[in-house]
Chains A and B, each alone.
Chain A
Amino acid sequence: MIIAVWIIVGIIVILILVFVGIYNGLVRLRNQVKNAWAQIDVQLKRRHDLIPNLVETVKGYMKHERGTMEAVTKARTLAQQVASAGPGERAKAEGELSSALSRLLAVAERYPDLKASQNFLALQEELTSTENKISFSRQFYNDSVMKYNNQTQMFPSSAVASMAGFKPGEFFEVTVAAEREAPKVSFT
């Protein structure tokens, strides 16, 4: 009789230990996702900060590209408005901003004076690098989300996840329709 009680107590203790282990593993993965997201956030903010500077620098040289510049400013405002939203919504706005920016930089290729300006070169380097950092940190973030989601959906950790309320993470997928629009040339 007493032995049976001890066995049951033992099983319960083991179950609790397993639960705690899985729970801690899930917390660690979730923190990694949060941390990776914070890294993306830093880079996105950096890009938002660079844009007014860029527009200011470019304005003096590119008088006939008002539309392209306005598109960038507008996309930035939109992206800033959803800055506290979830990854899905943000990714869309940031994707728009990315393509508007790359269009502006492509147009800039046609202005030799602008490209000789030290200020512009420094800005272009910063933008290129920020763009790279966004895509590298996005890759790291998506990897983390994948690992975390796998854990929340696979047995036995899925049981712990649903009991303790771990929700699956959202991927940060940027789908840019036209990566780079070819510079338009018209002879009229």
Chain B
Amino acid sequence: MLVIWMGVLLLLLGYLLGLYFFDSGTGGLIFALILWVIMSLVAYFQGDSILLAVSGARKIDRDDHPRLYNIVEEMKIASGLEAMPSIYVVDDPALNAFATGRDPKKASVTITSGLLQKLNRDELQGVIGHEVSHIKNRDVLLMAICSVLLGTIVILAWYASRVMLFGGMGRTRRSSSGGGGSGQIIIILVAIALMILAPIMAQLIYFAISRRREYLADASSALYTRYPEGLASALEKIAASPEQLKTANKATAPMYTVNPFRKQGMAASDLTSTHPPISERVRILRSMAGASFADYAVAYREVRDTSKVLIPAAAVTAAGTVALRAPQPGVPEKLEEVQRARETSNLMWNLNDYKTITCKCGTKLRLPPHFKLSPVRCPHCGRMNPVL
């Protein structure tokens, strides 16, 4: 497990810095552990609310958007989650979604209004399936642990390097033992090397874990929906849209369906990305012969041309064979898009407490929450409408 490697890296760094500064490896070890525990506690108890507050998400109920609620409920049933996640919507034209909740019983799914407007039912189901699987597989917790580990390593290395540069060097070291000179130098050199390398290595491990969980979430989404094409075509739509998410930052990036910082046309298949390249994810999903984990594993190996094992063998055999389903019958795409746009804007008006008055001529008047003037003149037909 890659997480363990990150932990080992942290402990190693703490130990060596301890040896260097306090002449005691255990002291450094304990210091690193205490720092890590404190940061973990903050992330554990505040993480969800911080993330949701930062992104400006609004909670919605069943009646606000029945289709979205239904889709989340479908995915909850398909994944076998115990409790219904709460649903949030961010008013943002960018196309993205994320999941939060360290505890699958108290999780939430957040999507942007842009996504709600652009995706049809099958596509939305694919994206929600991806997010719900992040909850089901406890990825939120895993990524929180990883990012806290990463943060601790970075902070430790940073402070140590400052101390070493501006003063630590002047400190008289325990040289009375005399003969230990060469050993001391080796420790110092390793400590310095680790101080520089540890943050970089931790970052790379972190990215690798994140990408791996994304593939797993794609595979789970295909299994839950039994329709990988839904997620594939949603990913294509997301890739084609030019908007970037306004509220994302580097810390929250791994929580999203697609990397919110991707640049247009860039093939980010390198080591420094939280998400696998979209084109590759789409190709894997499209070349699946069935909807099971085994099918995804086969497609993954074909497309990536590796023999790497992505999904644990136990999970592959347990799922058995699952057939693909046919697409959901729907109205023509053009017509539906107009409806979806209307639904979504209605939802956003309502969420922002705007009042809606329908005039006799059919015009809908939207009034801001603290609008006091009554009656209001309809700009279309000139009738006066009382504000209730």
Contact = CB atoms under 8 A, between A and B. Distances in A.
Interface of A: 39, 105-106, 109, 115, 121-122, 125-126, 128-129, 132-133, 135-137, 139-140, 179
10 contacts: A39-B77, A106-B329, A115-B331, A129-B67, A129-B70, A132-B74, A133-B70, A133-B73, A140-B77, A179-B326
Contacts of A135: 325
B369 interface: no
Contacts of B74: 129, 132-133, 136
B77 A105 contact: no
A172 to B, nearest CB: 14
Given A126-B66, A129-B70, A136 B331 contact: no
Given A39-B77, A129-B70, A132-B70, 7 more contacts: A105-B329, A106-B329, A109-B329, A133-B77, A136-B74, A140-B77, A179-B326
A39 B82 CA distance: 12
A179 B121 CA distance: 20
B109 to A, nearest CB: 16
Contacts of A125: 66-67, 70
Interface of B: 66-67, 70-71, 73-74, 77-78, 80, 121, 224, 325-326, 328-329, 331, 339
A122 B71 CA distance: 14
A133 B224 CA distance: 11
A135 B339 CA distance: 27
Enumerate the 9 nearest inter-chain pairs by beta-carbon distance, A residue then B residue, closest first: A129-B70, A136-B78, A136-B77, A132-B74, A137-B77, A125-B67, A133-B77, A133-B74, A140-B80
Contact of A140 (B70, B78, B339): B78
A146 to B, nearest CB: 8
Nearest to A116: B335
A99 to B, nearest CB: 14
Given A137-B77, A140-B77, A126 B331 contact: no
Contacts of B121: 128
B7 to A, nearest CB: 34
A147 to B, nearest CB: 9
A178 B224 CA distance: 24
A170 to B, nearest CB: 19
Contacts of A140: 77-78, 80
A126 B77 contact: no
A39 B70 CA distance: 15
